[in-house]
Structure 1
């Protein structure tokens, strides 16, 4: 019994240590600032025409430039592209990828990204569809905006909709790279009253931990 108790306590301590690390190295801020660029973006205005209330947050991670593969810093756009590859092709997305593959991969979705090789080599250009649940709507030199919430085969307004903004920028003043996963989830269908998104609080908290995991494991792709 003592061995079992020790094993359980060791496991709990390990989980607590990982959670503490993720929280400290990948802090989440919610809600987004009222002047956040996403609110004025053409993508958001198009996807949420009624400006329905949104569940919103941003998870940020900062790394010293000295830890980043130097070849990713030579050409603008390479850093965020590689970070995006890390997010979708990394350990953090593995379980969801397997679940979606089991449920939705088939002839109708053969053009989408499914395998680790595809996810880790794609350039994530506009129109790229990921595991029948995400679609790239915009790509810039510092960010890739991905639509979420439902299958990309449903192109119209949806009761469950949203955006991921995956970003990577270089802070030359502090010699750091800033990585972020910004989330805005809403219903784009109809008009909804209120100021808060309709995601239950416990689901919102789980999502924030998931964002931390995606940000953390995505960053591994950039390290020397």
Structure 2
């Protein structure tokens, strides 16, 4: 089924219906709600101590529980972990992974995750570094939060910084699984005035479409 889905989706991207398909299956909400838990989280407060303005969105996909592999619903944490594996080890991340590999893979990044096999089997525990561009900061039964925006070898403040929160939760009353990729990007260097995040509108729009691709292709790993 994985090969079939990849073939179908690759063909879909070459048609005029691609945008409509992705938008319908993976809607994006931007900006995030003022009450969104990310704003009060210890991870966000630590990474953005000056509360600089952020480019922010969440891409959400809802899948009927009946379509999910039953073994992923037995133990807390398995669904979110497998969704994370599907995101980094899946088709949607291939181009970026290969670009980062070409530029940054070497002896100094040998301990990081690079190969699809590693990305598809890692436990994504705290401290795991991904393709010299992401690092796991927090792992819960329903989400995995990674720092983004620059190499994890830059430990302190960055001109380009941010968080990806990769989540999978079960809505039993409605018999749905909700999959989401939440993005918050900011500068963590000094104090930035104003209310606009660091991404210009056209890059923000491209990022939202990329989030849709990542969410859609990551979900394939969870399906029967």
Structure 1 residue 134, shift from structure 2 partner: 0.2
2:157 corresponds in structure 1 to 157
Q: In 2 relative to 1, CA 89–12 (structure 1 residues): closer, same or farther, beyond 3 Å?
A: closer
Post-superposition offset of 1:125: 0.3
1:200 is matched with: 200
The Cα of 1:14 is off from its aligned counterpart by 4.6
Task: State the 1:198 CA deviation.
Answer: 2.1
Cα shift at 1:206: 0.2
Which residue of structure 1 lines up, in the alignment, with residue 49 of structure 2? 49
Q: State how far apart, in whole Å, the 2-side matches of 1:122 and 1:139 are.
A: 13
Aligned partners of 2:34, 2:16: CA distance in 1, in Å?
A: 33
State how 1:98-113 maps to structure 2 within 5 Å.
98-113=98-113
Q: 1:194 and 1:167 mapped to 2: Cα distance?
A: 30
Task: Look up the match of 1:186.
Answer: 186
Counterpart in the other structure of 2:82: 82
Structure 1: 5+ residue runs without aligned partners?
Answer: 1-10
Residue 15 of structure 1 corresponds to 15
Matched, 1:60 2:60: yes
Distance (whole Å) between structure 1 residues aligned to residue 106 and residue 79 of structure 2: 32
The superposition leaves residues 81-132 of structure 1 with CA deviations (integer Å, 9 ceiling, x where unpaired) of 0000000000000000000001100000000000000000000000000000
Match of 2:215 in 1: 215
Which residue in the other structure is 2:175 paired with? 175
Aligned counterpart, 1:92: 92
Over 3 Å counting, the alpha-carbon distance change for 1:180 and 1:54 in structure 2 is: same
Give, in whole Å, the separation in 1 of the partners of 2:85 and 2:129.
13
Name the CA shift for 1:167/1:12 in 2 (closer, same or farther; >3 Å). closer
Distance 1:142 1:13 in 2: 30
How many residues align structurally? 214
In the alignment, what sits opposite 2:3?
Answer: none
Cα offset for 1:196? 1.5
Q: Which secondary structure state, in structure 2, belongs to the residue aligned with residue 51 of structure 1?
A: coil
User: 1: distance between equivalents of 2:156 and 2:28?
Assistant: 30
2:137 matched residue in structure 1: 137
Aligned-residue RMSD, C-alpha? 1.2
Q: Give 1:195 shift.
A: 1.2
Shift of 1:12: 10
- For 1:111 and 1:181, locate their aligned partners in 2 and report how far apart those are by CA, in whole Å: 25
Stretches of structure 2 that go unaligned for 5 or more consecutive residues are: 1-10
Q: Taking structure 1 as the reference length, what is the TM-score of the superposition?
A: 0.94
User: Structure 2 length normalisation: TM-score?
Assistant: 0.94
